[in-house]
Amino acid sequence: MEVVRISPRGYCHGVVEAIRAARRVGAEPGGEPVAMLGYLVHNEHVTRELAASGVRLVDAPTRLEGLAAIDRGTVIFTAHGVSPQVRAQAAARGLRTVDATCSDVVRTHDLVDRLLADGYTVIYLGKVGHPEPEGVVGHDPGRVLLVETLADVERLVVDADKLAVTTQTTLSVWDTNALIARLRERFPRLEVHNEICSATQDRQEAAVAAARECDVVVVVGSSRSSNSLRLVQVVEELAGTPAHLVDTVDELRPEWFAGCRRVGVTAGASTPSPLTRAVIQALEGLEPPPAAAGRPVALRAGRGPSAPGTG
Which residues are known catalytic residues?
A: 132
Q: For residue 109, how many other CB atoms are within 10 A of its CB?
A: 19
- Long-range (24+ apart) CB contacts under 8 A made by 245-248 are 245/219, 245/220, 245/221, 246/218, 246/219, 246/220, 246/279, 247/44, 247/220, 247/221, 247/222, 247/223, 247/275, 248/275, 248/278, 248/279, 248/306
**Integer Cα distance of 290 and 259 in angstroms:** 10
CA angle 242, 281, 223 (to 5 degrees): 45
> In terms of Cα–Cα distance, which of 253, 11, 250 is closest to 242?
253
Rounded to an integer, what distance in angstroms lies between the CA atom of residue 146 and that of residue 166?
A: 10
One-letter amino acid for residue 88 of the chain: A
Helix (H, G, I), strand (E, B) or coil at 197: coil
Gap between the Cα atoms of 143 and 60, Å rounded: 25
- The 3-state DSSP class for residue 288 equals coil
Question: Is 183 within 8 Å of 165 (Cβ atoms)?
Answer: yes
